Structure 1
Amino acid sequence: MKKNFYHLVTATLLTVVLAGFSSCGEGKADQQAAASQTPSLPVISLPVKTLTGYQSYPARIEGVINAEVYAKISGYITDVAVDEGQKVRKGQVLFRLETQSLNQDAAAAKANVNAAQVEVDKLKPLVEKNIISEVQLETAKAKLKQAESAYNSIAANIGYGTIKSPVDGYVGAINLRAGSLVSPSSQTPLTTVSEIDKVYAYFAMNEKEYLNFIMAADGGVRDEKIENLPQVTLILANGEEYPQQGTIETVNSQVNENTGSVNFRAVFDNPQRLLTNGNSATLRVPKTYTDVVVVPIESTLERQGSTYVYQLDADNKATATEITVKDEINNLYIVSDGISKGDRIVAKGIQNLRGTTTIQPQETPFDSIAAPIKKSFR
């Protein structure tokens, strides 16, 4: 009897112990399964940074002085005295026109002047002796002036046959060569002489961009704001940055009705004559943001026109949080609302998250996600 009782107790205890071991094993397995279902994702803490971004606009380059050269008389070009790209001085001969017929007219006009002068000289002593009236002398003098005027006009036209540079500068394209017939009514200039020690860069902003730009500038009235506008830069057609910075000098006060844009003009020094009339470039206007919260674009998600990050709480629960993006520089969003300095967000893999998700955070340096941070334009 006792022996059977001891066997029963022993079997019961063994069953309890085995059950305990079994439950412990199942608990650890459940914990491991739960851990395997919790995603392990990189997490960054948000800093504040000072960044400079650039808004870019197509620009057209022109010389500060851009003088088109036209013929003042009709005639055939007999000589082109300069070449394209040549530096010339004001008054230097550029073209010569055929003036043979004008020379003949000038000789005839000069003969008329001489004849009129002889008539005046003949009448003067007769008037002094009261042989003829003074009216006859005055009439002769008037004829002399008419003859002189006709001669001077022809002589001036002969002078116009030698076409000279109106300014110091560089010769542009020569559109007509020797043998071409030109006239004052020609629509195409013979050439253009440009002074390019300084050049203008013309560009335009749409109305919204213009208002934001001017309103953000320091100063009271509009003229003060223009004086305080930042220096601008040029990206040349080959992708290189022009070494000189420029200054925005003028802003058109009217919106173009056809394009809805406002025209700007910036001036650049051009000591190496690298820029010339007709060049194209991209003008960059800088904008600096000081001590702003930034988020890597890679760490954001776009949904129905809104931008989100997955923000972590103290329990490592990641929740979608909407942010307000103020600007974009390189691979960073500048954020004006929604998150703050020091907040933790999921750096990568957020496209797989839904709702509120507990994660295993892998603390990651911010710059390993956002670097390299460089000045850029878009």
Structure 2
Amino acid sequence: MTDANLDLVGTEIRSPIDGIPSEPAVSIGAIVTANQADALATVTRLDPIYGGITKSIARMLRLHERISSGELTRGQSLDASMTLENGTLYDGMDTFVSPSTSVSTATGTLDLRFQFDNPDRLILPAQFLRVAVTLGTTQAIEVPQRATLTAC
């Protein structure tokens, strides 16, 4: 390989992950250096996509009390179902990734992180979604609505 070819190969920049790049932060012809602090662009991975769920620590403590008392039976895993903004139930598979190890002092909440399959790219970063997490099961009796009364 000639020196010119080696110099040309050194000008190619590849992302270490697959994803969609943002608008470039630098224009063509701008001088950039190796290990510079400013990013050239941001690459966002959309499949799989990660979502953070925030839960009140007070609610988590109440759930822990219900599990300890036997009122709630803990499930084998945390299962999450997601509803998109148009009301459609998302059918992608979810995986519980990790809980946060600290409580936010500003909001008193705990973060849970889930990973969702997103092959059709229906979920985008910062999109508003409704997520229901199943923690366990409890004994209940189903009663027809007509059989109940509203207390005044």
TM range (shorter): 0.5 to 0.7
Matches within 5 A, 1:70-109: none
> Could you tell me whether the CA contact under 8 Å between 2:22 and 2:43 is conserved in 1?
no
More helix as a share of residues:
1
More strand as a share of residues:
1
Q: Which amino acid in the other structure matches residue 45 of structure 2? A: E
Tell whether 2:74 aligns with 1:248.
Answer: no
Tell whether 2:150 aligns with 1:300.
Answer: yes
State the partner residue of 2:22.
173
Q: 1:213 to 1:182 in 2, by over 3 A?
A: farther
Q: Identity percentage over the alignment?
A: 23
Q: Secondary structure of 1:263's match? A: strand
The counterpart of 1:162, out of the listed 12, 15, 21, is: 12
Q: Which runs of 5+ in 2 are unaligned?
A: 1-5, 69-73
Q: TM-score, normalised by structure 2?
A: 0.67
What CA deviation, in whole Å up to 9, does each residue of 1:147-193 have, x standing for no partner? xxxxxxxx99x93x4322112x122321434355656243xx33222
CA distance in 2, matches of 1:229, 1:279: 25
Q: Secondary structure of 2:45's match? A: strand
Matches within 5 A, 1:261-280: 261-280=109-128
State the partner residue of 1:350.
none
Q: 1:291 to 1:259 in 2, by over 3 A?
A: closer
Q: 1:271 to 1:216 in 2, by over 3 A?
A: farther
CA distance in 1, matches of 2:77, 2:64: 8
Q: 1:248 to 1:214 in 2, by over 3 A?
A: farther
State the partner residue of 1:291.
140
Matches within 5 A, 1:1-378: 159=10, 161-167=11-17, 169-176=18-25, 177-178=27-28, 184-186=36-38, 189-216=39-66, 228-286=76-134, 288-292=137-141, 294=143, 296=145, 299-302=149-152
CA distance in 1, matches of 2:50, 2:12: 31
Deviation, 1:263, is 0.7
CA distance in 2, matches of 1:283, 1:198: 16
**Which protein is bigger by CA-based radius of gyration?**
1
CA distance in 1, matches of 2:45, 2:99: 22
Deviation, 1:280, is 2.9
CA distance in 1, matches of 2:115, 2:66: 21
Q: Secondary structure of 2:53's match? A: strand
Q: TM-score, normalised by structure 1?
A: 0.31
Q: Which amino acid in the other structure matches residue 205 of structure 1? A: K
CA distance in 2, matches of 1:236, 1:204: 17
What CA deviation, in whole Å up to 9, does each residue of 1:230-270 have, x standing for no partner? 41111112221111242323111221112111110112222
Residues paired across the two proteins, number: 137
Q: Secondary structure of 1:213's match? A: helix
